[in-house]
Chain A
Amino acid sequence: MGWDWSLFRLANDLAGKSAVLDTIIRLFMNDYGCTTMLVLLVFGLWFSGHTEAERERNQRGVLSTVAALAMANLVVKAINLVYWRWRPFTYHEVTLLFYHPSDSSFPSNAATVGFCLAASVLFFNRKAGLALLVIASLFSLSRVIGGVHYPTDILGGLVIGSLAAWIANRRAPWLNKIWTPIIRRMRRLVLA
Protein backbone atom coordinates (compact mmCIF):
# COMPACT_ATOMS: atom_id res chain seq x y z
CA MET A 1 0.00 0.00 0.00
CA GLY A 2 1.45 3.31 -1.10
CA TRP A 3 0.11 5.42 1.76
CA ASP A 4 1.35 2.90 4.32
CA TRP A 5 4.88 3.13 2.94
CA SER A 6 4.66 6.95 2.65
CA LEU A 7 3.57 7.26 6.27
CA PHE A 8 6.28 4.85 7.35
CA ARG A 9 8.92 6.91 5.51
CA LEU A 10 7.60 10.11 7.03
CA ALA A 11 7.95 8.68 10.54
CA ASN A 12 11.18 6.79 10.01
CA ASP A 13 12.85 9.88 8.54
CA LEU A 14 12.77 11.31 12.08
CA ALA A 15 15.15 8.58 13.23
CA GLY A 16 18.90 9.00 13.01
CA LYS A 17 18.76 12.81 12.85
CA SER A 18 19.38 13.59 16.50
CA ALA A 19 20.98 11.49 19.24
CA VAL A 20 18.61 12.95 21.83
CA LEU A 21 15.50 12.17 19.79
CA ASP A 22 16.80 8.67 19.03
CA THR A 23 17.33 8.04 22.75
CA ILE A 24 13.82 9.25 23.55
CA ILE A 25 12.37 7.02 20.80
CA ARG A 26 14.38 4.07 22.13
CA LEU A 27 13.08 4.71 25.66
CA PHE A 28 9.53 4.35 24.36
CA MET A 29 9.94 1.60 21.78
CA ASN A 30 11.76 -1.04 23.85
CA ASP A 31 9.98 -4.13 25.19
CA TYR A 32 10.21 -3.16 28.87
CA GLY A 33 9.43 0.49 29.69
CA CYS A 34 5.99 1.17 28.25
CA THR A 35 4.71 -2.39 28.76
CA THR A 36 5.63 -2.25 32.43
CA MET A 37 3.96 1.15 32.89
CA LEU A 38 0.82 -0.12 31.13
CA VAL A 39 0.57 -3.24 33.28
CA LEU A 40 1.52 -1.30 36.41
CA LEU A 41 -1.47 1.02 35.97
CA VAL A 42 -3.81 -1.94 35.59
CA PHE A 43 -2.23 -3.56 38.68
CA GLY A 44 -2.81 -0.36 40.68
CA LEU A 45 -6.43 -0.20 39.53
CA TRP A 46 -7.18 -3.47 41.33
CA PHE A 47 -6.64 -1.69 44.67
CA SER A 48 -8.24 1.61 43.64
CA GLY A 49 -11.60 3.00 44.66
CA HIS A 50 -13.00 5.21 47.39
CA THR A 51 -15.98 2.93 48.02
CA GLU A 52 -16.60 -0.82 47.93
CA ALA A 53 -18.74 -0.38 44.80
CA GLU A 54 -16.08 1.65 42.99
CA ARG A 55 -13.40 -0.87 43.93
CA GLU A 56 -15.54 -3.78 42.74
CA ARG A 57 -16.17 -2.04 39.40
CA ASN A 58 -12.42 -1.58 38.96
CA GLN A 59 -11.69 -5.18 39.92
CA ARG A 60 -14.24 -6.57 37.48
CA GLY A 61 -12.71 -4.28 34.86
CA VAL A 62 -9.19 -5.51 35.60
CA LEU A 63 -10.31 -9.14 35.27
CA SER A 64 -12.07 -8.32 31.98
CA THR A 65 -8.87 -6.61 30.82
CA VAL A 66 -6.87 -9.77 31.50
CA ALA A 67 -9.48 -11.76 29.54
CA ALA A 68 -9.35 -9.24 26.67
CA LEU A 69 -5.55 -9.45 26.60
CA ALA A 70 -5.65 -13.24 26.40
CA MET A 71 -8.25 -13.02 23.62
CA ALA A 72 -6.23 -10.45 21.63
CA ASN A 73 -3.04 -12.52 21.93
CA LEU A 74 -4.88 -15.60 20.66
CA VAL A 75 -6.13 -13.63 17.65
CA VAL A 76 -2.59 -12.39 16.91
CA LYS A 77 -1.24 -15.96 17.13
CA ALA A 78 -3.99 -17.15 14.78
CA ILE A 79 -3.24 -14.39 12.26
CA ASN A 80 0.48 -15.19 12.43
CA LEU A 81 -0.33 -18.79 11.47
CA VAL A 82 -2.08 -17.80 8.24
CA TYR A 83 -0.46 -14.50 7.27
CA TRP A 84 3.16 -13.38 7.34
CA ARG A 85 4.43 -9.90 6.69
CA TRP A 86 8.11 -9.07 6.53
CA ARG A 87 9.46 -6.26 8.67
CA PRO A 88 10.13 -2.90 6.95
CA PHE A 89 13.90 -3.34 7.29
CA THR A 90 13.87 -6.72 5.49
CA TYR A 91 13.61 -5.37 1.94
CA HIS A 92 14.03 -1.62 2.42
CA GLU A 93 16.68 0.80 3.56
CA VAL A 94 15.39 2.06 6.91
CA THR A 95 16.97 3.69 9.93
CA LEU A 96 16.64 1.02 12.60
CA LEU A 97 16.80 2.02 16.28
CA PHE A 98 16.18 -1.48 17.55
CA TYR A 99 17.33 -5.09 17.11
CA HIS A 100 15.89 -7.18 14.24
CA PRO A 101 12.66 -8.76 15.53
CA SER A 102 12.14 -12.13 13.87
CA ASP A 103 8.33 -12.47 14.10
CA SER A 104 5.70 -11.26 11.64
CA SER A 105 5.31 -7.50 11.32
CA PHE A 106 1.50 -7.65 11.13
CA PRO A 107 -0.22 -7.14 13.50
CA SER A 108 1.99 -5.27 15.94
CA ASN A 109 2.13 -7.14 19.27
CA ALA A 110 3.06 -3.92 21.04
CA ALA A 111 0.05 -2.04 19.63
CA THR A 112 -2.28 -4.98 20.28
CA VAL A 113 -1.27 -5.17 23.96
CA GLY A 114 -1.15 -1.40 24.47
CA PHE A 115 -4.47 -0.56 22.82
CA CYS A 116 -6.18 -3.61 24.30
CA LEU A 117 -5.23 -2.47 27.83
CA ALA A 118 -6.13 1.16 27.12
CA ALA A 119 -9.47 0.40 25.45
CA SER A 120 -10.47 -2.08 28.12
CA VAL A 121 -9.66 0.30 30.97
CA LEU A 122 -11.52 3.12 29.16
CA PHE A 123 -14.69 1.05 29.57
CA PHE A 124 -14.60 1.33 33.35
CA ASN A 125 -12.15 4.10 34.32
CA ARG A 126 -11.89 7.05 31.95
CA LYS A 127 -8.93 8.84 33.60
CA ALA A 128 -6.72 5.76 33.84
CA GLY A 129 -7.86 4.67 30.37
CA LEU A 130 -6.78 7.98 28.84
CA ALA A 131 -3.38 7.71 30.54
CA LEU A 132 -2.99 4.21 29.12
CA LEU A 133 -4.09 5.44 25.69
CA VAL A 134 -1.33 8.07 25.70
CA ILE A 135 1.30 5.46 26.68
CA ALA A 136 0.00 2.94 24.10
CA SER A 137 0.04 5.61 21.37
CA LEU A 138 3.61 6.69 22.17
CA PHE A 139 4.69 3.04 22.35
CA SER A 140 3.15 2.30 18.94
CA LEU A 141 4.31 5.48 17.23
CA SER A 142 7.89 4.98 18.45
CA ARG A 143 7.87 1.50 16.89
CA VAL A 144 7.13 3.01 13.46
CA ILE A 145 9.70 5.77 13.89
CA GLY A 146 12.23 3.17 15.08
CA GLY A 147 11.75 1.17 11.88
CA VAL A 148 10.22 -2.10 13.16
CA HIS A 149 6.57 -1.65 12.11
CA TYR A 150 4.48 -0.26 9.25
CA PRO A 151 1.60 2.05 10.26
CA THR A 152 -0.90 -0.63 9.17
CA ASP A 153 0.70 -3.08 11.64
CA ILE A 154 -0.16 -0.59 14.37
CA LEU A 155 -3.65 -0.09 12.94
CA GLY A 156 -4.16 -3.86 12.93
CA GLY A 157 -3.05 -4.06 16.58
CA LEU A 158 -5.36 -1.18 17.49
CA VAL A 159 -8.37 -2.86 15.86
CA ILE A 160 -7.66 -6.30 17.35
CA GLY A 161 -6.90 -4.92 20.83
CA SER A 162 -9.93 -2.62 20.90
CA LEU A 163 -12.28 -5.31 19.58
CA ALA A 164 -11.07 -7.78 22.20
CA ALA A 165 -11.56 -5.12 24.89
CA TRP A 166 -15.06 -4.34 23.61
CA ILE A 167 -16.06 -8.02 23.54
CA ALA A 168 -14.68 -8.70 27.05
CA ASN A 169 -16.30 -5.61 28.57
CA ARG A 170 -19.55 -5.27 26.62
CA ARG A 171 -20.36 -8.45 24.76
CA ALA A 172 -19.55 -11.17 27.27
CA PRO A 173 -21.82 -10.70 30.29
CA TRP A 174 -21.15 -14.31 31.25
CA LEU A 175 -17.61 -13.25 32.17
CA ASN A 176 -19.06 -11.31 35.10
CA LYS A 177 -20.48 -14.56 36.44
CA ILE A 178 -16.94 -15.93 36.49
CA TRP A 179 -15.55 -12.79 38.17
CA THR A 180 -18.09 -12.83 41.02
CA PRO A 181 -16.76 -15.93 42.85
CA ILE A 182 -13.15 -14.87 42.17
CA ILE A 183 -13.73 -11.45 43.76
CA ARG A 184 -15.65 -13.04 46.64
CA ARG A 185 -12.73 -15.37 47.39
CA MET A 186 -10.22 -12.55 47.11
CA ARG A 187 -12.32 -10.51 49.55
CA ARG A 188 -12.14 -13.28 52.10
CA LEU A 189 -8.37 -13.00 51.78
CA VAL A 190 -8.70 -9.18 52.16
CA LEU A 191 -7.17 -8.80 48.70
CA ALA A 192 -10.21 -7.42 46.86
Chain B
Amino acid sequence: MLYFVSAQLAIGYWLFALLSAIGALQWVAARYRLGGLALFDLGRHRSRGYRLAAVLVLGSTAAFFASQWDPIFAPGPAGSELAVLFSASALCALLVTLLGAPLLRSARRAAPRAELLSEAGPLVPVGHAQGRLLEPVVGEAVAPVGQPGPAVCLVPGGVDSELAMAVLARRLTEDGMVCLLIHPDPSAYAFPAALAILPAAASLLAKRPDVDPNRIAAVGDGAGGDLTIRSASTSKEVKTLVAVAPILREPPVGLGLLRELSYSEALRWSRDRGRAELVGGLEASSYSSRIPPRPGLLLYGSEDHLADKAARAELGGSLEVRTLPGLGHRNLAGHPDVMKIISDWLKEHL
Protein backbone atom coordinates (compact mmCIF):
# COMPACT_ATOMS: atom_id res chain seq x y z
CA MET B 1 0.00 0.00 0.00
CA LEU B 2 1.15 3.51 -0.76
CA TYR B 3 1.58 5.79 2.25
CA PHE B 4 2.10 9.48 1.48
CA VAL B 5 2.61 10.54 5.16
CA SER B 6 1.37 14.11 4.64
CA ALA B 7 -1.36 15.03 2.16
CA GLN B 8 -0.16 18.63 2.09
CA LEU B 9 3.39 17.60 1.21
CA ALA B 10 2.18 15.08 -1.37
CA ILE B 11 -0.05 17.67 -3.08
CA GLY B 12 2.76 20.24 -2.92
CA TYR B 13 5.19 17.80 -4.52
CA TRP B 14 2.64 16.83 -7.17
CA LEU B 15 2.18 20.50 -8.11
CA PHE B 16 5.94 21.09 -8.15
CA ALA B 17 6.51 18.06 -10.39
CA LEU B 18 3.56 19.03 -12.63
CA LEU B 19 4.80 22.58 -13.26
CA SER B 20 8.39 21.37 -13.69
CA ALA B 21 7.27 18.73 -16.21
CA ILE B 22 5.29 21.37 -18.15
CA GLY B 23 8.47 23.49 -18.08
CA ALA B 24 10.53 20.58 -19.42
CA LEU B 25 8.02 20.10 -22.24
CA GLN B 26 8.21 23.80 -23.11
CA TRP B 27 12.00 23.59 -23.32
CA VAL B 28 11.71 20.56 -25.60
CA ALA B 29 9.07 22.34 -27.72
CA ALA B 30 11.35 25.35 -28.18
CA ARG B 31 14.51 23.31 -28.79
CA TYR B 32 12.99 20.86 -31.29
CA ARG B 33 10.27 23.16 -32.70
CA LEU B 34 7.41 20.93 -31.60
CA GLY B 35 4.52 23.36 -32.07
CA GLY B 36 2.00 20.78 -30.84
CA LEU B 37 3.63 20.99 -27.39
CA ALA B 38 4.22 24.74 -27.30
CA LEU B 39 2.24 26.93 -24.90
CA PHE B 40 3.81 29.96 -26.55
CA ASP B 41 3.99 31.38 -30.07
CA LEU B 42 6.70 29.12 -31.47
CA GLY B 43 6.64 30.70 -34.90
CA ARG B 44 7.26 34.27 -33.72
CA HIS B 45 8.80 34.04 -30.25
CA ARG B 46 10.74 30.80 -29.94
CA SER B 47 13.01 32.19 -27.23
CA ARG B 48 9.96 32.71 -25.03
CA GLY B 49 9.75 28.91 -24.77
CA TYR B 50 13.10 28.77 -22.97
CA ARG B 51 12.07 31.61 -20.67
CA LEU B 52 8.72 29.96 -19.91
CA ALA B 53 10.52 26.68 -19.17
CA ALA B 54 12.96 28.39 -16.81
CA VAL B 55 10.17 30.27 -15.01
CA LEU B 56 8.10 27.09 -14.57
CA VAL B 57 10.97 24.89 -13.34
CA LEU B 58 12.72 27.44 -11.13
CA GLY B 59 9.49 29.08 -9.93
CA SER B 60 7.84 25.79 -8.95
CA THR B 61 11.04 24.63 -7.23
CA ALA B 62 11.27 27.86 -5.24
CA ALA B 63 7.58 27.75 -4.36
CA PHE B 64 7.77 24.11 -3.25
CA PHE B 65 10.79 24.64 -1.02
CA ALA B 66 9.44 27.88 0.41
CA SER B 67 6.04 26.41 1.24
CA GLN B 68 7.15 22.95 2.42
CA TRP B 69 10.54 23.66 4.02
CA ASP B 70 9.85 21.93 7.35
CA PRO B 71 7.99 18.84 6.03
CA ILE B 72 10.76 18.33 3.43
CA PHE B 73 13.24 17.67 6.25
CA ALA B 74 10.95 15.32 8.13
CA PRO B 75 10.20 11.69 7.15
CA GLY B 76 7.95 11.81 4.09
CA PRO B 77 6.84 9.66 1.15
CA ALA B 78 9.25 6.89 0.17
CA GLY B 79 10.71 6.34 -3.31
CA SER B 80 7.74 4.33 -4.61
CA GLU B 81 5.27 7.04 -3.52
CA LEU B 82 7.42 9.74 -5.12
CA ALA B 83 7.59 7.68 -8.32
CA VAL B 84 3.79 7.45 -8.39
CA LEU B 85 3.42 11.19 -7.72
CA PHE B 86 5.95 12.10 -10.42
CA SER B 87 4.34 9.73 -12.97
CA ALA B 88 0.92 11.28 -12.27
CA SER B 89 2.41 14.77 -12.64
CA ALA B 90 4.19 13.91 -15.89
CA LEU B 91 1.00 12.44 -17.34
CA CYS B 92 -1.03 15.49 -16.32
CA ALA B 93 1.68 17.81 -17.69
CA LEU B 94 1.51 16.01 -21.03
CA LEU B 95 -2.29 16.28 -21.09
CA VAL B 96 -2.23 19.98 -20.16
CA THR B 97 0.35 20.68 -22.86
CA LEU B 98 -1.26 18.63 -25.62
CA LEU B 99 -4.71 20.11 -24.95
CA GLY B 100 -3.57 23.63 -24.06
CA ALA B 101 -1.26 24.20 -27.04
CA PRO B 102 -4.01 24.12 -29.72
CA LEU B 103 -6.36 26.22 -27.56
CA LEU B 104 -3.74 28.93 -27.14
CA ARG B 105 -2.82 28.72 -30.83
CA SER B 106 -6.43 29.17 -31.94
CA ALA B 107 -6.79 32.10 -29.53
CA ARG B 108 -3.70 33.73 -31.06
CA ARG B 109 -4.55 33.21 -34.70
CA ALA B 110 -7.96 33.58 -36.20
CA ALA B 111 -8.62 30.52 -38.35
CA PRO B 112 -10.67 30.92 -41.52
CA ARG B 113 -14.35 31.00 -40.60
CA ALA B 114 -16.37 27.88 -41.38
CA GLU B 115 -19.20 30.15 -42.66
CA LEU B 116 -16.96 31.09 -45.59
CA LEU B 117 -17.96 27.83 -47.25
CA SER B 118 -21.71 28.33 -46.93
CA GLU B 119 -21.25 31.92 -48.13
CA ALA B 120 -19.45 30.48 -51.17
CA GLY B 121 -22.66 28.85 -52.37
CA PRO B 122 -24.26 25.42 -52.67
CA LEU B 123 -22.43 22.28 -53.78
CA VAL B 124 -22.76 21.39 -57.44
CA PRO B 125 -21.79 18.05 -59.03
CA VAL B 126 -18.31 17.92 -60.57
CA GLY B 127 -18.09 14.45 -62.12
CA HIS B 128 -18.30 12.03 -59.19
CA ALA B 129 -17.19 14.80 -56.82
CA GLN B 130 -18.78 18.07 -55.76
CA GLY B 131 -17.69 21.68 -55.67
CA ARG B 132 -18.75 25.29 -55.12
CA LEU B 133 -18.79 27.87 -57.89
CA LEU B 134 -17.71 31.38 -56.95
CA GLU B 135 -18.62 34.13 -59.39
CA PRO B 136 -16.13 36.90 -60.19
CA VAL B 137 -16.67 40.26 -58.57
CA VAL B 138 -18.29 42.52 -61.16
CA GLY B 139 -16.25 45.49 -62.25
CA GLU B 140 -12.90 43.93 -61.36
CA ALA B 141 -12.72 41.56 -64.32
CA VAL B 142 -9.34 40.83 -65.88
CA ALA B 143 -11.03 40.17 -69.20
CA PRO B 144 -12.79 42.99 -71.03
CA VAL B 145 -16.46 43.29 -70.09
CA GLY B 146 -18.70 40.93 -72.08
CA GLN B 147 -15.88 38.58 -73.05
CA PRO B 148 -15.14 35.19 -71.50
CA GLY B 149 -12.58 35.42 -68.69
CA PRO B 150 -10.19 33.18 -66.79
CA ALA B 151 -11.23 30.44 -64.38
CA VAL B 152 -9.52 28.52 -61.64
CA CYS B 153 -10.22 25.10 -60.21
CA LEU B 154 -9.13 24.92 -56.57
CA VAL B 155 -8.35 21.45 -55.19
CA PRO B 156 -7.99 21.39 -51.39
CA GLY B 157 -6.24 18.61 -49.52
CA GLY B 158 -8.71 18.26 -46.66
CA VAL B 159 -11.25 20.05 -44.47
CA ASP B 160 -8.81 22.68 -43.08
CA SER B 161 -7.35 23.14 -46.51
CA GLU B 162 -10.85 23.70 -47.94
CA LEU B 163 -11.30 26.70 -45.66
CA ALA B 164 -7.91 28.14 -46.61
CA MET B 165 -8.75 27.60 -50.27
CA ALA B 166 -12.12 29.33 -49.76
CA VAL B 167 -10.19 32.42 -48.59
CA LEU B 168 -7.97 32.15 -51.66
CA ALA B 169 -10.98 31.64 -53.94
CA ARG B 170 -12.60 34.80 -52.62
CA ARG B 171 -9.40 36.70 -53.33
CA LEU B 172 -9.24 35.31 -56.89
CA THR B 173 -12.84 36.25 -57.60
CA GLU B 174 -11.85 39.82 -56.73
CA ASP B 175 -9.28 39.49 -59.53
CA GLY B 176 -12.15 38.67 -61.89
CA MET B 177 -11.72 34.90 -62.04
CA VAL B 178 -14.45 32.29 -61.89
CA CYS B 179 -13.50 29.82 -59.14
CA LEU B 180 -14.58 26.24 -58.66
CA LEU B 181 -13.71 25.02 -55.17
CA ILE B 182 -13.73 21.23 -55.00
CA HIS B 183 -15.21 19.71 -51.83
CA PRO B 184 -12.70 17.22 -50.37
CA ASP B 185 -15.18 14.41 -49.84
CA PRO B 186 -13.25 11.27 -48.73
CA SER B 187 -15.21 9.07 -51.16
CA ALA B 188 -14.36 11.35 -54.10
CA TYR B 189 -10.71 11.65 -53.06
CA ALA B 190 -9.98 7.92 -53.34
CA PHE B 191 -7.28 6.80 -55.75
CA PRO B 192 -7.59 6.35 -58.76
CA ALA B 193 -11.12 7.82 -58.99
CA ALA B 194 -9.76 11.20 -57.82
CA LEU B 195 -7.87 11.51 -61.14
CA ALA B 196 -11.20 12.27 -62.82
CA ILE B 197 -11.89 15.34 -60.67
CA LEU B 198 -9.73 17.91 -62.47
CA PRO B 199 -10.82 16.96 -66.03
CA ALA B 200 -14.46 17.07 -64.88
CA ALA B 201 -13.91 20.47 -63.25
CA ALA B 202 -12.19 21.85 -66.34
CA SER B 203 -15.03 20.56 -68.52
CA LEU B 204 -17.65 22.16 -66.24
CA LEU B 205 -15.83 25.50 -66.28
CA ALA B 206 -15.24 25.40 -70.04
CA LYS B 207 -18.98 25.10 -70.67
CA ARG B 208 -19.69 28.39 -68.93
CA PRO B 209 -20.24 31.35 -71.27
CA ASP B 210 -18.19 33.64 -69.02
CA VAL B 211 -15.15 31.33 -69.07
CA ASP B 212 -12.52 31.18 -71.80
CA PRO B 213 -11.74 27.42 -72.17
CA ASN B 214 -8.13 28.31 -72.98
CA ARG B 215 -7.68 30.21 -69.70
CA ILE B 216 -8.32 27.61 -67.06
CA ALA B 217 -5.86 27.09 -64.18
CA ALA B 218 -5.62 24.54 -61.38
CA VAL B 219 -4.49 25.33 -57.86
CA GLY B 220 -4.02 22.47 -55.40
CA ASP B 221 -3.15 22.51 -51.72
CA GLY B 222 -1.52 19.69 -49.73
CA ALA B 223 -2.74 16.34 -51.08
CA GLY B 224 -4.77 18.46 -53.53
CA GLY B 225 -1.41 19.74 -54.81
CA ASP B 226 -0.32 16.16 -55.46
CA LEU B 227 -3.59 15.56 -57.30
CA THR B 228 -3.09 18.73 -59.37
CA ILE B 229 0.44 17.72 -60.41
CA ARG B 230 -0.60 14.19 -61.32
CA SER B 231 -3.73 15.35 -63.21
CA ALA B 232 -1.73 18.02 -65.07
CA SER B 233 0.64 15.31 -66.31
CA THR B 234 -2.16 13.92 -68.49
CA SER B 235 -4.73 16.71 -68.92
CA LYS B 236 -4.53 19.30 -71.68
CA GLU B 237 -7.33 21.53 -70.40
CA VAL B 238 -5.25 23.28 -67.77
CA LYS B 239 -3.11 26.15 -68.99
CA THR B 240 -1.17 26.67 -65.80
CA LEU B 241 -0.99 25.08 -62.38
CA VAL B 242 0.00 26.06 -58.87
CA ALA B 243 0.66 23.40 -56.24
CA VAL B 244 0.81 24.66 -52.67
CA ALA B 245 2.82 22.36 -50.39
CA PRO B 246 2.13 19.06 -52.14
CA ILE B 247 3.00 16.25 -49.73
CA LEU B 248 4.77 14.06 -52.34
CA ARG B 249 5.60 11.38 -49.76
CA GLU B 250 3.85 10.73 -46.45
CA PRO B 251 5.83 11.78 -43.36
CA PRO B 252 6.39 9.06 -40.74
CA VAL B 253 3.76 8.94 -38.01
CA GLY B 254 5.15 10.02 -34.65
CA LEU B 255 6.13 12.98 -32.52
CA GLY B 256 7.55 14.71 -35.61
CA LEU B 257 3.98 15.48 -36.69
CA LEU B 258 3.71 17.82 -33.69
CA ARG B 259 6.10 20.18 -35.47
CA GLU B 260 3.21 21.15 -37.73
CA LEU B 261 0.04 19.89 -36.13
CA SER B 262 -1.69 19.97 -32.78
CA TYR B 263 -2.05 16.62 -31.03
CA SER B 264 -5.65 16.04 -32.15
CA GLU B 265 -4.78 17.03 -35.72
CA ALA B 266 -1.76 14.72 -35.65
CA LEU B 267 -3.92 11.85 -34.42
CA ARG B 268 -6.43 12.51 -37.21
CA TRP B 269 -3.61 12.79 -39.75
CA SER B 270 -2.05 9.50 -38.64
CA ARG B 271 -5.41 7.72 -38.93
CA ASP B 272 -6.34 9.20 -42.31
CA ARG B 273 -5.60 6.18 -44.45
CA GLY B 274 -7.54 7.72 -47.36
CA ARG B 275 -5.09 10.63 -47.71
CA ALA B 276 -2.08 8.36 -47.24
CA GLU B 277 -3.30 6.02 -49.98
CA LEU B 278 -4.18 8.94 -52.26
CA VAL B 279 -0.73 10.55 -51.88
CA GLY B 280 0.99 7.18 -52.28
CA GLY B 281 -1.04 6.32 -55.39
CA LEU B 282 -0.56 9.71 -57.05
CA GLU B 283 3.27 9.56 -56.99
CA ALA B 284 3.33 13.27 -57.77
CA SER B 285 7.12 13.63 -57.60
CA SER B 286 7.71 11.07 -60.34
CA TYR B 287 4.81 12.32 -62.49
CA SER B 288 5.98 15.94 -62.28
CA SER B 289 8.51 15.29 -65.06
CA ARG B 290 5.71 14.13 -67.37
CA ILE B 291 3.80 17.41 -67.26
CA PRO B 292 3.73 18.85 -70.80
CA PRO B 293 5.56 22.19 -71.10
CA ARG B 294 3.36 24.79 -69.40
CA PRO B 295 3.88 27.27 -66.59
CA GLY B 296 3.76 25.58 -63.23
CA LEU B 297 4.51 26.89 -59.75
CA LEU B 298 5.24 24.97 -56.55
CA LEU B 299 5.08 26.81 -53.24
CA TYR B 300 6.49 25.58 -49.96
CA GLY B 301 6.99 27.09 -46.54
CA SER B 302 10.52 26.80 -45.20
CA GLU B 303 9.08 25.38 -41.94
CA ASP B 304 6.99 22.73 -43.71
CA HIS B 305 7.57 19.40 -41.93
CA LEU B 306 4.76 17.44 -43.56
CA ALA B 307 5.82 17.67 -47.20
CA ASP B 308 8.81 15.45 -47.86
CA LYS B 309 11.99 17.49 -48.43
CA ALA B 310 13.88 14.62 -50.10
CA ALA B 311 11.03 14.06 -52.56
CA ARG B 312 11.12 17.76 -53.51
CA ALA B 313 14.62 17.23 -54.87
CA GLU B 314 13.23 14.51 -57.16
CA LEU B 315 10.71 16.89 -58.75
CA GLY B 316 11.27 17.18 -62.48
CA GLY B 317 9.73 19.03 -65.40
CA SER B 318 9.38 22.75 -65.86
CA LEU B 319 7.87 23.51 -62.45
CA GLU B 320 9.19 26.59 -60.69
CA VAL B 321 9.74 25.96 -56.97
CA ARG B 322 9.54 28.84 -54.48
CA THR B 323 10.16 28.49 -50.74
CA LEU B 324 8.62 31.07 -48.45
CA PRO B 325 10.66 31.74 -45.32
CA GLY B 326 9.06 31.23 -41.93
CA LEU B 327 5.88 29.57 -43.17
CA GLY B 328 4.72 26.04 -42.41
CA HIS B 329 2.39 23.59 -44.14
CA ARG B 330 -1.01 24.29 -42.64
CA ASN B 331 -3.16 27.06 -44.10
CA LEU B 332 -0.29 28.03 -46.41
CA ALA B 333 -2.74 28.65 -49.25
CA GLY B 334 -4.66 31.13 -47.08
CA HIS B 335 -1.57 33.16 -46.09
CA PRO B 336 -1.71 36.72 -47.49
CA ASP B 337 1.81 36.49 -49.04
CA VAL B 338 0.98 33.17 -50.70
CA MET B 339 -2.36 34.45 -51.98
CA LYS B 340 -0.59 37.44 -53.55
CA ILE B 341 1.99 35.19 -55.23
CA ILE B 342 -0.74 32.92 -56.61
CA SER B 343 -2.84 35.86 -57.74
CA ASP B 344 0.14 37.48 -59.52
CA TRP B 345 1.12 34.16 -61.10
CA LEU B 346 -2.37 33.53 -62.45
CA LYS B 347 -2.70 37.09 -63.76
CA GLU B 348 0.60 36.65 -65.61
CA HIS B 349 0.00 33.18 -67.02
CA LEU B 350 -3.75 33.08 -67.70
Contact = CB atoms under 8 A, between A and B. Distances in A.
Nearest to B269: A190
Nearest to A100: B75
B82 A191 contact: no
B72 A32 contact: yes
B8 to A, nearest CB: 14
A35 B79 CA distance: 10
Contact of B32 (A40, A41, A47, A190): A47
Contacts of B31: 48
Interface stretch (B21-29, B143-151, B179-187, B199-207): B21-29
A99 B72 CA distance: 9
Contacts of B76: 31
Given A48-B32, A190-B267, A190-B270, A33 B74 contact: no
B22 to A, nearest CB: 11
Contacts of A33: 61, 65
B257 interface: yes
B4 interface: no
Given A32-B82, A40-B20, A192 B74 contact: no
Nearest to B31: A48
Interface in B48-86: 57, 61, 64-65, 72-77, 79, 82, 86
A36 interface: yes
Nearest to A102: B75
Interface string A157-192: 000000000000000000000000000000111111
Contacts of B90: 43
Contacts of B64: 32
Given A32-B72, A47-B34, A192-B255, A40 B82 contact: no
Nearest to B36: A190
A133 B239 CA distance: 64
Interface residues of A, number: 32
Contacts of B258: 190
Given A36-B17, A43-B90, A47-B255, A109 B79 contact: yes
Contact of B82 (A27, A31, A190): A31
Interface in B69-110: 72-77, 79, 82, 86, 90, 94
Instruction: Give the one of B27, B72, B75, B270 with max A CB within 10 A.
Output: B72
B37 interface: yes
Interface residues of B, number: 39
A36 B252 contact: no
B253 interface: yes
B306 to A, nearest CB: 13
A188 B61 CA distance: 34
Interface in B245-263: 252-258, 263
B24 A36 contact: no
Contacts of B34: 47
A26 interface: yes
Instruction: Give the one of A30, A73, A109 with max B CB within 10 A.
Output: A30
A49 to B, nearest CB: 7
Contacts of B266: 190
Interface in A24-63: 26-27, 30-33, 35-36, 39-41, 43-44, 47-50, 52, 55
Given A36-B86, A39-B86, A50-B32, A191 B270 contact: no
A188 B16 contact: no
Contacts of A192: 254-255
Interface in A99-138: 99, 101-102, 109, 113
B92 to A, nearest CB: 12
Contacts of A189: 267
Contacts of A49: 32
A32 B16 contact: yes
Contacts of B65: 27, 33
A113 B79 contact: yes
A89 interface: no
A41 B32 CA distance: 15
Interface in A59-107: 73, 98-99, 101-102
Given A32-B16, A32-B82, A44-B25, A190 B252 contact: no
A32 B258 CA distance: 31
Interface string B219-238: 00000000000000000000
A184 to B, nearest CB: 10
Contacts of A31: 72, 76-77, 82
Interface of B: 13, 16-17, 20-21, 24-25, 27-28, 31-32, 34, 37, 57, 61, 64-65, 72-77, 79, 82, 86, 90, 94, 252-258, 263, 266-267, 270
8 contacts: A47-B37, A48-B28, A50-B32, A101-B75, A187-B254, A188-B253, A190-B263, A190-B267
